[in-house]
């Protein structure tokens, strides 16, 4: 097909061969067979195929055929004038200049080809101008250089689309990194508050199984172990301490292979995973295992930042030379966070040199990154090729079974018996970050000690919804401690008579640095007066237009557009929507349910938070149950 129209058709089956329209008819019939697979190939030499299969071309209807216009010969003077203009714009016109002394027909063909090529080049240049090339300046400059010779580089659309994909991938990675930073900061803050509560409470002697202070200190301390002075390895990070599941089994096996039988293992090994999923643990485990097998093995763990600092040197060229020599003499180099190499050509050149030296000597290099090598911005193509010449092993977020196993191991480490029900409950709350999962477990252990109560699901539910408030000496949590703690990526159906509780939850989220959007039936002036919110935007949900406040009509598509646009600019933000009954009366419940489901998916993908305040008495019981199946439920029972 070309431009959406079938050009030729060949059908071969069981020795029989059809061409032309009969073949096309048979292909069409085959497409209804369940076993049929259709493949589309975008980059095909159509002209070459049509020459080879001339008898397979399809005849068009006469009324669809247009006579081709014979181009008028181009005068030499006209061509020279055009060459001058194109040269002024920076185009390479050597091929056209060479055709000036040829026959008129050849000049005409070359001229017309060049003119079309410059039009395509200008279109590509306009596309580049619209892209944010920050971090990809080198690739953008390379494409612009090729555009100067439009006949030689006639098909740059593919390169531009590849660049666009890389930019989008980088943007998504940065958004995820920002979200993870906020989440980990919140987790640390909550754990710190719990630790403060623990330190203020006297030891409980009569409780039904509280954790004693040494165990609490061990669980909550979470102090980073001291790295080895020579290798930078962390001794506790071993293969035995790594919990294996379906999400990380392949990467774990590859890491063991490198550590135990490097001559048969892939070189290099690149471990790709998001934050908190264990890639750094595996790097240290490889190094520790290699050292245990051979105490004389030269192993070094470095972050990309440390690698770069070592190259810069502290005392001139001699220091840098010594650092390079140390790297090339290693048996195994473990380099973490290589996404930081993007845009650092000198560091990339040095890594290529080190890689070649180690590879020639049959020594290993293992790297870790939060994205695949080809998705790292401004990474030298030679380095990308070298990194992907070995094995790229990806770690996915752990499944529930693995998360439960991680928590069970933590419980054994502090000599605690925790029921599978409690472990499963905690595992359900944190799905994609092992460090955050550990922080949630830590808080449950500490509160068990503070309250003098055994670790149960009810206790875990109270703790993991806490706001870090004070706990009275009597052991019962204060009301503020029981206030729900919102989790990024979750959508909450806040069931209450009036939306005050939802606004309080939003205010709490805003206090932790998240952006906020409010769409409410309340006049924004009243919202400011009653709750003192610092939300980025407050939209009054009403058909009425007024200059006194920013309004939005109850049109579902318009509301979706506003919310998705806001979350794209403010990843990890919180959205509060109140006035569900107003939306239902203006549309229909079926339409509103689809609308809610779309927002739930958007919020989950972007790790944002969605609060939907609803008065249970304002919707039908069946409708309320359908909403409850889509969202987490918070029943505030009019106490807000």
Please provide residue 209's backbone torsions phi and psi, each rounded to the nearest 5 degrees. Answer: 100, 35
> Among residues 479, 414, 480, which one has the least CA distance to residue 448?
414
Q: What is the pLDDT of residue 484?
A: 56
What class is the 491-635 domain?
alpha beta
Instruction: Kindly report the pTM of this predicted structure.
Output: 0.52
CA angle centred on 159, ends 155 and 162, rounded to 5°: 145
DSSP labels for 7-66?
Answer: -B-EEEETTEEEETHHHHHHHHHHTTSTT------SS--HHHHHHHTGGGBPPPPGGG--
Is the separation of the CB atoms in 518 and 527 below 8 Å? yes
HEC sequence for 173-222: HHHHHHHHHHHHHHHHHHHHHHHHHHHHCCCCCCCCCCCCHHHHHHHHHC
Dihedral angle over CA of 550, 551, 557, 561, nearest 10: 10
Kindly state the tokens that stand for 573.
Answer: 């933000």
Contacts of 352 (CB under 8 A, 6+ apart): 380, 382, 383, 386
Is the separation of the CB atoms in 251 and 273 below 8 Å? yes
Is the separation of the CB atoms in 495 and 614 below 8 Å? yes
Q: What is the pLDDT of residue 480?
A: 35
**Cα 415 to the center of its chain, rounded Å:** 37
Q: What is the pLDDT of residue 64?
A: 44
Q: Which residues of the chain have pLDDT under 50?
A: 61-66, 203-212, 215, 218-219, 466-483, 638-640
> Among residues 164, 147, 168, 394, which one has the least CA distance to residue 279?
394
Q: What is the pLDDT of residue 445?
A: 81
Q: What is the pLDDT of residues 34-68, one digit of tens each?
A: 678 777 776 677 777 777 787 878 765 444 444 55
Q: Residue 296 gets which letter from DSSP?
A: T
Q: How far is CA 255 from CA 238, 370, 435, in A?
A: 11, 17, 21
Query: Do the two domains 249-394 and 491-635 of this chain adopt the same fold?
Result: yes
Find the helix or strand (DSSP H, E) in which 114 lies. helix 104-130
Question: Could you give the CA distance from residue 558 to residue 564 in angstroms, rounded to a whole number?
Answer: 10
Q: What is the pLDDT of residue 60?
A: 56
Contacts of 593 (CB under 8 A, 6+ apart): 623, 626, 627, 630
| Domains of the chain, residue spans | 10-64, 76-155, 207-223+399-482, 249-394, 491-635
SS3 content of the chain, % helix, strand, coil (to 5): 55, 10, 35
CATH fold, domain 249-394, is Rossmann fold (3.40.50)
User: In a 10 Å sphere around its CB, with 0-12 CB exposed, 13-18 middle and 19+ buried, how is residue 259 labelled?
Assistant: buried
Q: What is the pLDDT of residue 40?
A: 75
């Amino acid at each position: 097909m070309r431009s959406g129209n079938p050009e030729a058709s060949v059908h071969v089956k069981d020795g029989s061969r059809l061409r032309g329209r009969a073949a096309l008819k048979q292909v069409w019939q085959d497409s209804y067979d369940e076993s049929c697979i259709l493949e589309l190939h975008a980059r095909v030499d159509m002209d070459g195929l049509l020459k080879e299969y001339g008898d397979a071309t399809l005849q068009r209807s006469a009324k669809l055929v247009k006579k081709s216009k014979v181009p008028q010969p181009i005068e030499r003077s006209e061509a020279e004038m055009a060459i001058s203009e194109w040269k002024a714009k920076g185009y390479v016109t050597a091929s056209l200049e060479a055709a000036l002394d040829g026959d008129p027909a050849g000049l005409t063909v070359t001229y017309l080809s060049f003119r079309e090529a410059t039009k395509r080049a200008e279109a590509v240049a306009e596309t580049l101008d619209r892209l944010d090339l920050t971090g990809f300046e080198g690739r953008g400059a390379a494409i612009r250089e090729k555009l100067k010779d439009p006949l030689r580089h006639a098909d740059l659309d593919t390169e531009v689309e590849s660049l666009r994909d890389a930019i989008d991938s980088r943007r998504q990675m940065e958004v995820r990194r920002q979200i993870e930073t906020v989440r980990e900061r919140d987790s640390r803050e909550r754990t710190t508050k719990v630790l403060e509560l623990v330190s203020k409470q006297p030891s409980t002697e009569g409780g039904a199984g509280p954790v004693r202070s040494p165990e609490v200190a061990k669980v909550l301390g979470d102090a980073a172990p001291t790295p080895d002075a020579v290798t930078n390895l962390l001794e506790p990070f071993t293969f035995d301490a790594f919990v294996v599941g379906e999400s990380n089994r392949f990467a774990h096996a590859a890491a063991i292979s490198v550590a135990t039988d490097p001559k048969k293992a892939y070189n290099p090994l690149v471990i790709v995973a998001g934050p908190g999923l264990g890639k750094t643990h595996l790097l240290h485990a490889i190094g520790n295992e290699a050292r245990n097998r051979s105490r004389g093995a030269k192993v070094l763990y470095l972050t990309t930042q440390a690698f770069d600092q070592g190259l810069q040197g502290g005392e001139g060229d001699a220091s840098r030379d010594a650092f390079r020599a140390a790297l090339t003499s290693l048996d195994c180099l473990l380099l973490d966070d290589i996404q930081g190499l993007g845009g650092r050509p000198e560091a990339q050149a040095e890594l290529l040199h080190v890689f070649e030296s180690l590879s020639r000597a049959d020594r290993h290099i293992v790297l870790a990154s939060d994205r695949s090598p080809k998705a790292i911005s401004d990474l030298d193509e030679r380095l990308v090729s070298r990194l992907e010449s070995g094995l790229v092993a990806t770690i996915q977020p752990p499944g529930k079974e693995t998360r439960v196993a991680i928590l069970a191991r933590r419980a054994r480490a502090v000599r605690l018996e925790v029921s599978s029900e409690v472990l499963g409950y905690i595992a359900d709350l944190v799905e994609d970050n092992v460090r955050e999962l550990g922080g949630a477990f830590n808080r449950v252990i500490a509160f068990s000690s503070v309250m003098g109560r055994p670790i149960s699901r009810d206790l875990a539910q109270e703790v993991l919804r806490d706001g870090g408030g004070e706990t009275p000496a009597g052991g019962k949590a204060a009301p503020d401690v029981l206030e729900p703690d919102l989790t990024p990526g979750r959508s909450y159906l806040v069931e209450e008579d009036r939306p005050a509780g939802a606004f309080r939850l939003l205010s709490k989220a805003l206090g932790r640095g998240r952006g906020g959007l409010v769409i409410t039936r309340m006049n924004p002036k009243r919202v400011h007066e009653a709750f003192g919110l610092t939300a980025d935007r407050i939209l009054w949900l009403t058909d009425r237009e007024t200059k006194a406040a920013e309004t939005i009509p109850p049109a579902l598509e318009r509301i979706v557009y506003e919310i998705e646009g806001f979350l794209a600019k403010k990843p990890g933000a919180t959205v509060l929507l109140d006035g569900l009954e107003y939306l239902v009366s203006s549309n229909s419940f079926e339409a509103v349910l689809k609308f809610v489901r779309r927002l739930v998916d958007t919020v989950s993908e972007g790790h944002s938070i969605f609060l939907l305040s609803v008065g249970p008495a304002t919707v039908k019981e069946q409708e309320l149950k359908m909403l409850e199946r889509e969202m987490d439920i918070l029943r505030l029972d009019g106490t807000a």
